[in-house]
Chain A
Amino acid sequence: MVAQVERKRLTAGLTVTQKVFVRSRNGGATKIVREHYLRDDIPCLSKLCNLCPSIMKPDAKGEFQKFTLSDTPLKLANGGHHYLVLDTNIVLHAIDLVENVHGFFDVLVPQTVLEEVRNRSVPIYTRLRALCKSDDKRFVVFHNEFSEDTYVAREANESINDRNDRAIRRTCSWFQKHLNDNSPQLSVNIIFLCNDNDNRAKAITEGIDARTLAEYVEALPNADELRDLVPTDSSELQRVNEIAYPEYYSTARLMGGIKNGTLYQGIVNISSYNFLEGAVNVPSFKKPLLLLGRERLNRAFNGDSVVVELLPKSQWREPSSQIIEESAVEANDTPEDEEELKISDQERRLLAQDAMVSHKTQPTDEVASRIQPTAKVVGIIRRSWRFYVGQIAPTSVSENSGSAPSNCFVILMDKCLPKIRIRTRKAPELLGKRIVVAIDSWPSTSKFPEGHFVRSLGDVESAEAETEALLLEHDVEYRPFSKNVLDCLPSEGHDWKVPTDLDGDEFIKKRKDLRAKLVCSIDPPNCQDIDDALHAQLLPNGNYEVGVHIADVTHFVKAGTALDAEGASRGTSVYLVDKRIDMLPMLLGTDLCSLNPYVERFAFSVIWELDSDANIVKVDFMKSIIKSREAFSYEKAQLRIDDESNQDDLTKGMRILLQLSRKLKQKRLDAGALNLASPEVKVHMDSETSDPAEVEIKKQLATNSLVEEFMLLANISVARKNFDAFPQTAMLRRHANPPATNFENLNDMLRVRKGMAVSLESSKALADSLDRCEDPADPYFNTLLRIMATRCMMAAEYFSSGSYGYPEFRHYGLAVDIYTHFTSPIRRYCDVVAHRQLAAAIGYEPLDLSHRDKGKMETVCKNINRRHRNAQFAGRASIEYYVGQVMKNNESTQLGYAIRVFSNGIVVLVPKFGIEGLIKLESLGDINSARFDEENYSLTFTDHTGAERTIAVFDQVEVDIKSVLDEVTSKRKAELFLK
């Protein structure tokens, strides 16, 4: 619809007009009218301008905007001194280049571009906004949509895109004229960067100096440095069509289809065993929809939000029982060639009903129950593209290329992703390096996505490059803390002390003096960040007083500071084998907020009165001052408790804690708490060479569980209190019940192979049935089953209490109705929020607005959930890398278990090192001899000695572990070979 052009003058510099547009939502069209004010006081922000300083208006704090654009901008040989105006497509496709510190200064971002970027990609918008804040890049936003001089109304029959292009061109011309008129000192040229040929041509006719990105970069003095970073423009590439992917549907068709139930939206999940098989979870279907083959996946990346269409029933399949990796698939090999079938929307709806029904009824036929509906991708809602780490495929580099740019492939470390085609002059020198690439586009005529080189991390297999690659791959912020973050720390630094005057201010008066309590901490050996400590004593009435004291991090990390923002964005500390990436600066983590022994520290305390059965009689929360008497390691604490000759009060307190913790644990298990297992291993580093030396499984002592039980109790008590005080925004943690379908496969394997079953009726039933699954011949079988069951569970997640109903707060694994994280504020941001909410709930200090706002809390939860997941993956990847390094010198034969069987290979888990690996049929024996018995989860083949062997799921196997450098991904991994 066309905007009305009627304008009304309000005051001297303010005019109002109406923006009219039609919004279609839920099928109906709604006419929306919004006011739009135009003004004459929007400054150009050029230091050269003589006019604009006089039209400025102050903000609410009485401050004026800074004039940012340089008075001596860069001079080009062909173009003179210039300011840049960026078109939307340049920002979206070349943000890395625009951010480069060696080019792109004095840039003007029209509001129209800013808004278009925000609509297309919020992450890029955030980066663009960050550029506008940084002092050295000199980026400014010019609000052309609100300026009387540059606002353009949409004309009849003009598309929104055309109108926006026109608005951007108008801004360019106005700026040129404005500078000509008001800056007599120096003539500055406005250069408009635009890669859209049509728009650029129009700009040139209108007298604007418009250039493509490539043209501009060529004109720069340091073009050599920047040239490779220019994204490939798919329209410029002349390439034989290797493949034609189906075109995506139009937006209107996608939206219509989703609404009338013929299309479905979801997130693509690529199988980690087969990069050509994806699955999309759609709420209306019990089982995920399968996407099989390149064409059905239709350029979707792992994690993309896509729209899919169901395929006819004749094409529904079982999930593939094959392992396929990118390297194994030849270029001209396109699996799944089926002719396109035309079906109507009517039929599609019937099909969908079919698909739903087929999941509800339990067919007796085994195969039918495994059949899954298949679908194909017909549109992409949002790409998950980010920076990727990989290395150039040596075979794709031609030797005689010289310095001319040539195409080559980059193989990504993430095996679920296809290789990326980049164009670079530096290919020969980048061979054997870990490099960072960005993806620009994936046209339908190109078999592989197009990208460009960003930077090199260093040699493959060098510890620095591998660690940085791992952090980048898991999106972990690892740069040192910036100055304005460090500025938020106490100025006394390590000399900070608890004030001696306890009547000093209103806050310290509210603190309870608990220095007389016999507090101690129990942690792993050499623990540097002690965030919890405990005490216990017998009360005159026969009950016990037990206190959990947590480092008072929020005394130092105040809401709204740069320090808080950094912590919120990092979300969690990340633990790698040889490195810890802190959420908060070291000064806090290892000193001021570490409850070190013999010194006074601020703490947040939870103090219970417990009866002799560990029932809570009373609970109190308070900010406090404590003085820890001793820092024990788990082993030292155990020794002290066990030694009967110790009859001092501190040891007696520890015995009380141990005794109560056993009761707490028993109660938890009785309520149905799960005792799941995951192979947790620890890599020992050689202290001299800091090379990884050996691997061991982590041990559990009674004192581990002592601390754990009280932390759980504190978390639960705090969760209740915070939910009570902030029913809409309390920061909580939930663990959903696992859907029965997650266990179908495991249960079927159990039934077929062992004649056992696990029950899913409740967490109690699951816990009990897991206990019953014992194989007398194999004591490890129960642990193996627990490891496999853990993988069928849902992930626990942080949420704000307004997002779910109370019954859904439940933590399945712990079998409690409500839970949060409170006990590790140094290394988890959830705990920081919980601390602030608890402080407000007990009236210590008012709660910051951001923790009382539902929307903001949801954003925080979403981020910390993602960060938490990434941190776990990064930690695992780090272990995997180091286990590979250890195995270099420690090749050995170990006992393993087959946990999955495919038609062309088996997956084996080696408990001793917590590693699992795929053994392909080729290395097992004769490929042609293999018989795959799907019903019985077994694979029969003739091995290299000529003997026939059968391996089934849960079977014990002997394997050789060797350290192998993967040719394709250049990842060193421990690889398994069947003995």
Chain B
Amino acid sequence: MSNIEFYSAEGLRMDGRRWNELRRFECRTNTHPSSSDGSSYVEQGNSKVICLVNGPMEPENRSQLSTQKATLEVNLNIASFSTTERKKRLKSEKRTQELITTLERTFEQAIVTKIYPRTLISINIHVLSQDGGLLASCTNAVTLALIDAGIAMYDYISAVSAGLFDTTPLLDLNALEENVMSTLTVGIVGKSEKLALLLLEDKVPLDRLESILAISIAGSHRIRDIMDKEVRRHGKVRLSKSSS
């Protein structure tokens, strides 16, 4: 991959973006109304993720449920055609489990779980295509699907990845960029600067962390705005349907 300038002297990345620019971000909610209580579809560059949410509901096996709050269950299904090279199954299994745990922990804090005791909220994520920022796309898709399902949340969780190339922080890495630099994924609560999620792969020098965090927070806020717009658009469609 050395035949690419990842960040040129002129300040452009391999795909033409500048250091602080997001990739194309598109999203839809309520994409699968018949098969789920809430659903969404997120495209972040060429990463494509579908999320289906069912619940709160009574589960088949009641013994594991908490009497205090709702229980979350995350399934992550990464399609074998989602990367160009279909391989490394074994390695990715460990990684999938890591992602699931991270998502469960994040959304246990974001959902107002205490108002749904003795219920199960089941989140199913399908990754159709991977081009970097997998955890961020999943987080954004889950947020949208939960909102679509009408499950109470404290605020939006919007997520984006960022990395460090030499001394320049780069926002929203694609797969090729992710391969060559340490990657940080953050999830931000609403318009605040509170972190709901932070995952760092490999190491970043401590003195550079702040600059990476700063651009990822700014990026997450922009993603929140796009998701908010979509939620409001869909809300209007629903309202007009129910009122007519």
Contact surface of A with B, Cβ cutoff 8 Å: 8, 10, 14, 16, 18, 30-39, 42, 57, 59-60, 65, 114-115, 118-119, 122, 129, 132-133, 141, 143, 145-146, 846, 849, 852, 855
Please tell me if the beta carbons of A35 and B10 are within 8 angstroms of each other in the complex. no
In the complex, whether B9 has a CB less than 8 A from a CB of chain A is yes
Please tell me if the beta carbons of A16 and B24 are within 8 angstroms of each other in the complex. yes
- Residue with the highest number of chain A CB atoms closer than 10 Å, among B5, B45, B85, B174: B5
**Shortest beta-carbon contacts, A-B, top 10:** A37-B16, A146-B16, A59-B11, A60-B168, A60-B19, A16-B24, A30-B84, A35-B15, A37-B17, A35-B45
Which residues of B have CB within 8 Å of A141? 8-10
Please tell me if the beta carbons of A59 and B168 are within 8 angstroms of each other in the complex. yes
In the complex, whether B180 has a CB less than 8 A from a CB of chain A is yes
Alpha-carbon gap, A8 to B45, bound state (A): 12
Which residues of A have CB within 8 Å of B180? 855
Alpha-carbon gap, A35 to B24, bound state (A): 9
Alpha-carbon gap, A60 to B167, bound state (A): 9
Give chain A nearest CB distance to B138 CB in angstroms.
19
Which residues of B have CB within 8 Å of A846? 205-206
In the complex, whether B97 has a CB less than 8 A from a CB of chain A is no
- Residue with the highest number of chain A CB atoms closer than 10 Å, among B17, B85, B176, B180: B17
A133 nearest in chain B by CB position: B9
Residue of B8, B20, B164 near A143 (CB, 8 A) is: B8
Which residues of A have CB within 8 Å of B16? 36-39, 143, 145-146
12 contacts between A and B (CB under 8 A): A32-B84, A38-B16, A59-B168, A60-B167, A65-B10, A114-B5, A115-B3, A118-B5, A143-B16, A145-B16, A846-B206, A855-B180
Which residues of A have CB within 8 Å of B46? 18, 33-35
- Residue with the highest number of chain B CB atoms closer than 10 Å, among A31, A38, A146: A146
A140 nearest in chain B by CB position: B10
Give chain A nearest CB distance to B72 CB in angstroms.
33
Known contacts A35-B174, A60-B19, A60-B169; 9 additional CB pairs below 8 A are: A18-B46, A30-B85, A31-B84, A34-B46, A34-B174, A59-B18, A60-B211, A846-B205, A855-B180
Please tell me if the beta carbons of A60 and B20 are within 8 angstroms of each other in the complex. yes
Alpha-carbon gap, A115 to B20, bound state (A): 23
Give chain A nearest CB distance to B175 CB in angstroms.
9
Please tell me if the beta carbons of A35 and B20 are within 8 angstroms of each other in the complex. no
Which residues of B have CB within 8 Å of A65? 10-11
Within 8 A of A (CB), among B150-179: 164, 167-169, 174, 176
Please tell me if the beta carbons of A118 and B85 are within 8 angstroms of each other in the complex. no
Alpha-carbon gap, A852 to B205, bound state (A): 11
- Residue with the highest number of chain B CB atoms closer than 10 Å, among A32, A35, A65: A35
In the complex, whether B193 has a CB less than 8 A from a CB of chain A is no
Which residues of B have CB within 8 Å of A143? 8, 10, 12, 16
Alpha-carbon gap, A16 to B18, bound state (A): 13
Which residues of B have CB within 8 Å of A16? 23-24
Please tell me if the beta carbons of B20 and A118 are within 8 angstroms of each other in the complex. no
Which residues of B have CB within 8 Å of A60? 19-20, 167-169, 211, 215
Residue of B5, B15, B206 near A37 (CB, 8 A) is: B15
Alpha-carbon gap, A14 to B15, bound state (A): 12
Which residues of A have CB within 8 Å of B12? 42, 143, 146
Give chain A nearest CB distance to B131 CB in angstroms.
8
In the complex, whether B203 has a CB less than 8 A from a CB of chain A is yes
In the complex, whether B58 has a CB less than 8 A from a CB of chain A is no
Which residues of A have CB within 8 Å of B205? 846, 849
In the complex, whether B21 has a CB less than 8 A from a CB of chain A is yes
Alpha-carbon gap, A30 to B205, bound state (A): 37
Which residues of A have CB within 8 Å of B17? 37
Give chain A nearest CB distance to B189 CB in angstroms.
25
Alpha-carbon gap, A8 to B23, bound state (A): 12
Which residues of A have CB within 8 Å of B5? 114, 118
Alpha-carbon gap, A31 to B85, bound state (A): 10
Give chain A nearest CB distance to B88 CB in angstroms.
15
Size of B's binding interface in residues, CB under 8 A? 34
Which residues of A have CB within 8 Å of B20? 60
B207 nearest in chain A by CB position: A846
Which residues of A have CB within 8 Å of B215? 60
A30 nearest in chain B by CB position: B84
Alpha-carbon gap, A143 to B174, bound state (A): 20
A8 nearest in chain B by CB position: B24
Give chain B nearest CB distance to A847 CB in angstroms.
9
Which residues of A have CB within 8 Å of B167? 60
A28 nearest in chain B by CB position: B85
Alpha-carbon gap, A133 to B9, bound state (A): 9
Mark contacts of B219-244 with chain A using CB atoms, 8 A cut-off: 1 yes-contact digit, 0 otherwise.
Answer: 00000000000000000000000000
Alpha-carbon gap, A970 to B226, bound state (A): 75
Alpha-carbon gap, A118 to B23, bound state (A): 26
Alpha-carbon gap, A243 to B50, bound state (A): 65
Which residues of A have CB within 8 Å of B10? 65, 141, 143
Please tell me if the beta carbons of A10 and B3 are within 8 angstroms of each other in the complex. no
Give chain B nearest CB distance to A771 CB in angstroms.
48
B14 nearest in chain A by CB position: A34
Which residues of A have CB within 8 Å of B21? 14, 37
Give chain B nearest CB distance to A850 CB in angstroms.
9
B45 nearest in chain A by CB position: A35
Within 8 A of A (CB), among B1-36: 2-3, 5, 8-12, 15-21, 23-24
Give chain B nearest CB distance to A892 CB in angstroms.
54
A114 nearest in chain B by CB position: B5
Give chain A nearest CB distance to B204 CB in angstroms.
8
Alpha-carbon gap, A852 to B202, bound state (A): 10
Which residues of B have CB within 8 Å of A133? 9
Alpha-carbon gap, A115 to B3, bound state (A): 8
Which residues of A have CB within 8 Å of B11? 57, 59, 65
Which residues of A have CB within 8 Å of B174? 34-35
- Residue with the highest number of chain B CB atoms closer than 10 Å, among A10, A65, A132: A10
- Residue with the highest number of chain B CB atoms closer than 10 Å, among A32, A114, A145, A849: A849
A59 nearest in chain B by CB position: B11
Alpha-carbon gap, A59 to B20, bound state (A): 9
Give chain B nearest CB distance to A607 CB in angstroms.
30
Give chain A nearest CB distance to B227 CB in angstroms.
16
Alpha-carbon gap, A115 to B85, bound state (A): 25
Which residues of A have CB within 8 Å of B9? 129, 132-133, 141
Give chain B nearest CB distance to A456 CB in angstroms.
34
Alpha-carbon gap, A38 to B12, bound state (A): 11
Which residues of B have CB within 8 Å of A14? 21
Alpha-carbon gap, A846 to B203, bound state (A): 12
Give chain B nearest CB distance to A42 CB in angstroms.
8
Mark contacts of B75-118 with chain A using CB atoms, 8 A cut-off: 1 yes-contact digit, 0 otherwise.
Answer: 00000000011000000000000000000000000000000000
Give chain B nearest CB distance to A373 CB in angstroms.
33
Please tell me if the beta carbons of B84 and A34 are within 8 angstroms of each other in the complex. no
Please tell me if the beta carbons of A57 and B15 are within 8 angstroms of each other in the complex. no
Which residues of B have CB within 8 Å of A35? 15, 23-24, 45-46, 131, 174
Give chain B nearest CB distance to A33 CB in angstroms.
6
Which residues of A have CB within 8 Å of B15? 34-37
Alpha-carbon gap, A36 to B169, bound state (A): 20
Which residues of B have CB within 8 Å of A39? 16
B179 nearest in chain A by CB position: A855
Give chain A nearest CB distance to B35 CB in angstroms.
28
Give chain A nearest CB distance to B95 CB in angstroms.
19
B176 nearest in chain A by CB position: A34
Which residues of A have CB within 8 Å of B85? 30
- Residue with the highest number of chain A CB atoms closer than 10 Å, among B3, B11, B85: B11
Give chain B nearest CB distance to A368 CB in angstroms.
44
Which residues of B have CB within 8 Å of A10? 24
> If A35-B23, A35-B174, A146-B12 touch, does A57 touch B18 (CB 8 Å cutoff)?
yes
Which residues of A have CB within 8 Å of B168? 59-60
Alpha-carbon gap, A852 to B17, bound state (A): 27
> If A119-B3, A143-B10, A143-B12 touch, does A59 touch B24 (CB 8 Å cutoff)?
no
Give chain A nearest CB distance to B119 CB in angstroms.
40
Give chain B nearest CB distance to A452 CB in angstroms.
28
